[in-house]
Structure 1
């Protein structure tokens, strides 16, 4: 890879540490705060799901507006930096000694910063590489992100598991983990901030904010002329719903069905390690096979995983589930990102990735909200998993429809 591709990939290494924290330590810490406040397991799972949904909805609403504005010459990097700082500082602020509700508010701010930065980061793919290399570079980002995120996670886990030997408490050690992750995330963003140049852009002579809303309407009309984009986004909405919900709710679900904290943390660490070679493998396969066929394979894999999760109640099953998720997790996200990037006009990449984010974040909002609501109403977290199975099935059918359509090249 060249220098631009490497600096872009390094941001995946940095932000993936926050993703792993959200999947492991943060929900366990929140569960501890909620337990101290005498909240029931089902209520705390529901509040966690609602929090994820609220932060997701905020970014989904802002995505197209900010994405369209970012396509204006010179705007993408400053907007990226603003959300990066919001996320990084928010992550560090979670170390403050507060109650469960205040903690959720701070976490919401940090997650909005993280998710917002990805709108601009994903759209940078068109600036740093070619169409022929997109699947490979996108997969490299996810692969090294999985492996790199293990470093701050292992440091944090070492603090937490050895808190007593280090003369501190588990709570204080967990707070340290938030700071370590924030520093890691911000440090690995520096090469991208220094080396990125916005090559693909739209020239807006004056009043770029006013032009933004007009361009959003124009993008909607353009997508009507290219139904493949619309059908892909619709399919993406359904299948990525399941993927994001599994990532964000796995720990609280495991907690509710009786898996110990240590077993969950180690299993999720294994997921990161196993995901590394498989993300690279799928990236290589995309050079020899149609990326669309590989995405369909990943959807089927997740469908089987969801069915298995319905009866999960033992630690070894959680470990097996973690390995199976690792096989497909990086591939389905990386290939979806590059698949979409090759469909859209390069000079409007942030604008279109804003819509990509609406469908992705809208799906995540629906999945976590459904799981939170169903667990609260039924008293069991398993009910929400059944809905995820349906989401993957619908996503598979819609993606096959998108694959049969031709791309309208007049948009490029």
Structure 2
């Protein structure tokens, strides 16, 4: 681990590079490959499955799991951020969620309808790991960058994320469309499904491998001096949200903007 000063170019680049590492999840798992793979599993069924004591449509099932994961993240994020600020080890929390998410992506290799509960657990933990790691990743920005640097380095992170995720997606799509070129055996349908499973493993490996550069340079975190781990410290994250909400009531333009953003984002995420 390198001890670099706030604002150091190498530190900022290392922070931004985490987007290169983790954005493969959003493109391959959340958007492009896993939804097609999941739908293909039901090709010889009526798109319904008996699970959790209910008879559910396959699209509804995965939507419920996704919504539940987001609900869990929204509750535990303020809780974990309050604890992380106290113990001064933000990086350990970020690593934990990163590895949970990445290993769960690899676990999707075994996703099938015969072991649906295990598969859904991996899918749930993948979402939890991705969004949980982002909580601590984003919270690093004011710690490592001065205010005048934050917009530029944040934009660089987004750019690296798009580039990295597209590179892996192109490789994955090539595997799926031309599996025999990659030595993947079976009929066309079987080989394509195998290639999709391999792509899930590749996402996890990519995520873990490239995040090491970020972890090498990111500081451990700054411990709040003189504090004991009390109930008030644990719930600091919720207290901060309450303060922000109070300030928001006084800023009408920002309040309107956030309302509009919520509606537009909700529409995009739903589609």
Residue 195 of structure 1 pairs with residue 195 of structure 2: no
Higher relative contact order (CA 8 A, sep 6+): 2
One of 232, 235, 243 as aligned partner of 1:211: 232
Task: Say if 1:57 and 1:224 are closer, same or farther in 2 by CA, change over 3 A.
Answer: closer
Does the CA contact (< 8 Å) of 1:9 and 1:144 recur in 2? yes
**How does 1:7-406 map onto structure 2 within 5 Å?**
7-21=14-28, 22-39=30-47, 43-99=57-113, 101-102=116-117, 103-165=119-181, 166-168=183-185, 169-198=191-220, 202-203=224-225, 205-207=227-229, 210-216=231-237, 218-220=239-241, 222-223=243-244, 226-227=247-248, 232=254, 235-236=257-258, 239-240=261-262, 242-243=264-265, 246=268, 248-250=269-271
SS of 2:41's equivalent in the other structure is helix
Does the CA contact (< 8 Å) of 1:127 and 1:198 recur in 2? no
Gaps in structure 2 of 5+ consecutive residues: 1-7, 49-55, 186-190
Gaps in structure 1 of 5+ consecutive residues: 251-412
Does the CA contact (< 8 Å) of 2:105 and 2:123 recur in 1? yes
In the aligned structure 2, how far is the partner of 1:7 from the partner of 1:35? 43
Task: Give the superposed CA RMSD.
Answer: 2.7
In the aligned structure 2, how far is the partner of 1:227 from the partner of 1:92? 41
In the aligned structure 2, how far is the partner of 1:225 from the partner of 1:249? 29
SS of 2:86's equivalent in the other structure is coil
Which deviates further from its counterpart, 166-175 or 229-238? 229-238
Does the CA contact (< 8 Å) of 2:78 and 2:235 recur in 1? no
Does the CA contact (< 8 Å) of 1:73 and 1:198 recur in 2? no
Task: Say if 1:140 and 1:35 are closer, same or farther in 2 by CA, change over 3 A.
Answer: same
Residue 2 of structure 1 pairs with residue 9 of structure 2: yes
In the aligned structure 2, how far is the partner of 1:239 from the partner of 1:221? 20
Deviation at 1:239, TM superposition (A): 1.8
In the aligned structure 2, how far is the partner of 1:80 from the partner of 1:112? 12
Task: Say if 1:237 and 1:96 are closer, same or farther in 2 by CA, change over 3 A.
Answer: farther
In the aligned structure 2, how far is the partner of 1:156 from the partner of 1:229? 48
TM-score by length of 2: 0.81
Alpha-carbon displacement from aligned partner over 1:350-381 (angstroms, at most 9, x marks no partner):
xxxxxxxxxxxxxxxxxxxxxxxxxxxxxxxx
How many pairs are equivalent?
Answer: 248
Task: Say if 1:61 and 1:183 are closer, same or farther in 2 by CA, change over 3 A.
Answer: same
Task: Say if 1:227 and 1:135 are closer, same or farther in 2 by CA, change over 3 A.
Answer: same
Task: Say if 1:175 and 1:2 are closer, same or farther in 2 by CA, change over 3 A.
Answer: same
TM-score by length of 1: 0.55
Does the CA contact (< 8 Å) of 2:78 and 2:238 recur in 1? no
Does the CA contact (< 8 Å) of 1:224 and 1:230 recur in 2? no
Does the CA contact (< 8 Å) of 1:10 and 1:192 recur in 2? yes
Deviation at 1:238, TM superposition (A): 5.0
SS of 2:172's equivalent in the other structure is helix
Alpha-carbon displacement from aligned partner over 1:209-252 (angstroms, at most 9, x marks no partner):
x3334524542553365236986478436524533652x554xx
